[in-house]
Amino acid sequence: MRVPDVDSDEALFELRFQPTVALVSTVRRFVTDFYREQFHDADVSHKLAMATHEMLENTVHYSIDRRSELVISLHRVSGQYVVTIQTKNRATEERLDKVRHALEEVVSAEDPEALYNQLVRRAAKRRDGGSGLGLGRIRAEADLALSYAIEGDTVVVTAEGRFQQRLASMLAMDS
């Protein structure tokens, strides 16, 4: 991923840190404000913040070295903004097998809402402490496409979507 030119309509930020539940919440507050400023749309801001939160929360639970990377980028394509949220962390072979299975199920789902409902029913029966809902929630509620790559012991999860940017003048008329 390249860093945008100063004069471009792109935005990008990257965090590398040891995430904790508290830091995930802090980052969520920051990205909520960031998305709100970019889109002037509370619904879009909420969806993107939720997706970012869910993805970071997975890095907290599944990283073997408690290190994580988060990259968020926005760029304009044909009058819309393409938002890309990407997390990267290392995991054990056992966890990589689980995440591969979970991601493959969510990525390949033709009906994200039906899959999410299935995941909710499955979560009610889980005994391992996790809900397993985050990735399904990103697809069903945020309407973002998911993809992933596993390189050695590293998993990279990417969520991407297209959004309209409301003009600040429209907001003034809404007030």
Q: What confidence tens digit (pLDDT) does each residue in 122-170 have?
A: 877 776 655 568 899 999 999 999 999 999 999 999 999 998 876 543 4
Is residue 174, in this structure, part of any structural domain at all? no
Is residue 60, in this structure, part of any structural domain at all? yes
The pLDDT, as a whole number, for residue 62 is 85
Q: How far apart are CA 100 and CA 32, in angstroms?
A: 28
Is residue 173, in this structure, part of any structural domain at all? no
Q: In which domain, by residue range, is 53 found?
A: 6-167
- For residues 72-101, one letter each, b for 16 or more C-beta atoms within 10 angstroms of the residue's C-beta and e for the rest, the string is bbbbeeeeebebbbbbbbbbeeebbeebee
Q: How far apart are CA 173 and CA 78, in angstroms?
A: 25
Q: Average of pLDDT values for 22-29?
A: 92
Q: How far apart are CA 110 and CA 170, in angstroms?
A: 35
Taking residue 136's Cβ as centre, other Cβ atoms within 10 Å add up to 26
Is residue 73, in this structure, part of any structural domain at all? yes
Is residue 95, in this structure, part of any structural domain at all? yes
Select the more confidently predicted residue: 70 or 173. Answer: 70
Is residue 63, in this structure, part of any structural domain at all? yes
Give yes or no for a contact between 27 and 14, defined as CB atoms under 8 angstroms apart.
no
Is residue 49, in this structure, part of any structural domain at all? yes
Count Cα neighbours of 14 within 13 Å in the Cβ-side half-sphere.
Answer: 7
Q: How many domains does the chain have?
A: 1
State the CATH number of the domain containing residue 117.
3.30.565.10
Is residue 175, in this structure, part of any structural domain at all? no
